[in-house]
Amino acid sequence: MSSVPTSDDGYREGAIDLLGILAYGALTAFERMAEDAQAAPTLADKVELATVAARQIDHFKSVSAQLATMGVDVMAAMAPFHAPFDAFHAYTKPKDWYEGLVKAFVGDGIAADFYREIAAFVDADTRNLVNEVLADEGLQAYIVAQVRLGMEHDPKLAGRLSLWGRRLVGEALSQAQRVAADRDALTSLLTGTVDRPGLDLAAISRMFSRLVANHTKRMAELGLKA
């Protein structure tokens, strides 16, 4: 356990929010990847995506179990996040196999970075679980190889996917703002309270710089412009 007092209700609420986000994120990732798998060009590609989709359910189960030890029902913890996640996915429906892969790499990448930033402020058990769930990057090398191969065959793809990457980040940030505005407890994990240290404005700005830098790096790995 860290020095964070668990008797702090605001802290507890924030940690539950973080786990609720992860659980619902895993569930929607499962759905999305299972759908993307249907668009796979070969059966081997389908197996690749289906495997990572299935792993999301393991993540969901881990987070669900952790919430249960905290006396919280995973369904209740996820409820506040249906709207922003569903909106994000509705606004960013991949039009083809490559858009699906870029979404999995870039969209999940920036989300994972953000969750890790928040996890720095929760207790060690929760933090370890968050990092464990997010460390599962089975698909990344595969996606990079696929997207680069696709662009070799179709040079126009690079421009379209670069635009797509920017749109994904734009939509993700707009939904993240919505969550931040609605969920004080989650936001105050980052910003701290009178009794609990957090980030000041300069530190929050540095955090955003880190998120953007990592995003740019991921786009470059794919051979795309951020």
Binding residues (CB under 8 A) for a second copy: these are 27, 30-31, 34-35, 37-38, 43-44, 46-47, 50-51, 53-58, 60-61, 75, 78, 82
**Nearest distance, CB of residue 88 and a second copy, angstroms:** 17
SS (H, E, C) 78-142: HHHHHHHHHHHHHHCCCCCHHHHHHHHHHHHHHHHHHHHHHHCCCCHHHHHHHHHHHCCCCCHHH
Rg (CA), the chain: 18
**Nearest distance, CB of residue 93 and a second copy, angstroms:** 13
Residue 106 phi/psi, 5-degree rounding, is -85, -45
Comparing CA positions, the residue from 102, 95, 101, 89 lying closest to residue 224 is 102
**Nearest distance, CB of residue 221 and a second copy, angstroms:** 26
Q: How far is CA 213 from the centre of its chain?
A: 16
| Secondary structure of residue 175 in the 3-state scheme | helix
**Nearest distance, CB of residue 15 and a second copy, angstroms:** 21
Question: Which one, 34 or 179, has the nearer CB to a second copy?
Answer: 34
Question: Which one, 44 or 181, has the nearer CB to a second copy?
Answer: 44
**Nearest distance, CB of residue 149 and a second copy, angstroms:** 19
**Nearest distance, CB of residue 41 and a second copy, angstroms:** 14
Please classify residue 194 by burial: count the beta carbons closer than 10 Å to its beta carbon, then call 0-12 exposed, 13-18 middle and 19+ buried: exposed
Question: Which one, 28 or 126, has the nearer CB to a second copy?
Answer: 28
Question: Which one, 50 or 173, has the nearer CB to a second copy?
Answer: 50
Question: Which one, 64 or 92, has the nearer CB to a second copy?
Answer: 64
Question: Which one, 55 or 215, has the nearer CB to a second copy?
Answer: 55
- DSSP letter, residue 104: I
Q: Under 8 Å CB-to-CB from 78, ≥6 apart: which residues?
A: 20, 23, 24, 27
